[in-house]
Chain A
């Protein structure tokens, strides 16, 4: 045997574990073929590998669910939670910057004004009720989300201040889809609002329905939805009656 034929244990182990590159693998193969001593070493290592593999213990882990609350050291989790909430808040703020103090365009009988929900409610202190039309003519997810956020905000802010509020949601164009049972993803939300509040009305546009040449049966509107001849006419009417119109 030539001493150059010597293969270290590390290399031989890597060979049986198939961890060598192709060139080194071939070199070892050639050496093993012509070296009986190497063959025996290799055989022993292979036997050992098989024996160890066969000796793998079997058993099932105890079912002890690990949850965040199980952790003894909760400080980091609290910190993590705070950071997460801050981040989530920031994301919500960035994506949906709507709150009582957020400026928005509102159409009134005087024309287009920039105001906030807070101002709307404040201005109504001497009135019987704050009356708001939410006009929607889009049906994309973002529009639907904004619409229902505004409804929620108006209702909760008015409730908090003990101010009466009336809301009409007027839908025309694609906004009609939000009120269709077969197309809207807000069924539960609409039902919940209708069950809890009698001061919110959802209204579909007759003109849009007519233009789409659809029957009411085909439209499959939510049972709570009313239909007016024309949303645009309804808006004009409401403006003359002192309502505030917010276009979503």
Chain B
């Protein structure tokens, strides 16, 4: 019976590969790194399969392993360039501003500038459509932490995409003043 369960779990783990790959990509990993992280996560999952007590929680468990793999990768590499110092070549012509693909690239670039914890939460919620509870379980953090990370991520993103959000953001500045008063 154990063998059967393990085999089924292995199949379910393998079936999660496309989703994990998509998540890894959304965390601003390139295709090569995404494949590498997913492979590492799947191998780790198989290695630690006996630690999984609730097979229903397999998906969240795999995302957690992937997030850990991503963290470990970021610790291993030492960035020689501060991402905040880089900006996309931005041509302020009307043609480029309406170009959807260009905007998508800017959003991805902005996401890349978020710290990794904020990036994980933001992408899981907005790209993967996961609930706060699911993210909380997957990343092993409290729901309150999910909310605060998400809030900071969107706030930072709002600043980074200031120009793309046109004049709307300028109006927001007046509102945030009220927050400081309260």
Contacts and interface: CB of A to CB of B under 8 A. Distances in A.
Interface residues of B, number: 60
A65 interface: yes
A3 interface: yes
Given A6-B182, A10-B148, A54 B107 contact: yes
Contact of B3 (A38, A60, A84): A84
Given A9-B154, A17-B125, A56-B22, A51 B148 contact: no
B139 interface: no
Given A44-B169, A60-B18, A68 B10 contact: yes
Contact of A72 (B43, B108, B151, B168): B43
Interface in A63-103: 64-68, 70-73, 76-77, 80, 83-84, 87-88, 91
Nearest to A47: B165
Contacts of A76: 47-48, 50
B108 to A, nearest CB: 5
A40 interface: yes
A55 interface: yes
Given A66-B39, A68-B10, A3 B46 contact: no
Contacts of B123: 52, 56
B14 interface: yes
Contacts of A223: none
Interface in B90-136: 100, 103-104, 107-108, 111, 122-123, 125-127, 131-132
A40 B172 contact: yes
A34 interface: no
Of B31, B132, B154, B181, which is in contact with the most chain A CB atoms at under 10 Å from its CB? B154
A212 interface: no
Given A52-B123, A61-B21, A17 B104 contact: no
A191 interface: no
A70 B181 CA distance: 59
B69 interface: no
A68 to B, nearest CB: 6
A40 B171 contact: yes
B151 to A, nearest CB: 4
Interface string A98-132: 00000000000000000000000000000000000
B25 A14 contact: no
B1 interface: yes
Contacts of A44: 158, 165, 168-169, 172
Given A59-B21, A60-B21, A51 B107 contact: yes
A8 B158 CA distance: 16
A128 to B, nearest CB: 43
Given A54-B107, A62-B35, A71-B47, A6 B179 contact: yes
B13 interface: yes
Nearest to B132: A19
B50 A80 contact: yes
Contacts of A70: 43, 46
B42 interface: yes
Given A14-B147, A37-B174, A60-B18, 9 more contacts: A3-B182, A8-B179, A19-B131, A37-B178, A44-B165, A52-B123, A55-B111, A66-B39, A66-B42
Interface of B: 1-3, 6, 10, 13-14, 17-18, 20-22, 25-26, 31, 34-35, 38-39, 42-43, 46-50, 100, 103-104, 107-108, 111, 122-123, 125-127, 131-132, 147-148, 150-151, 154-155, 157-158, 161, 164-165, 168-169, 171-172, 174-175, 178-179, 181-182
6 contacts: A17-B132, A37-B174, A40-B175, A48-B157, A49-B154, A66-B42
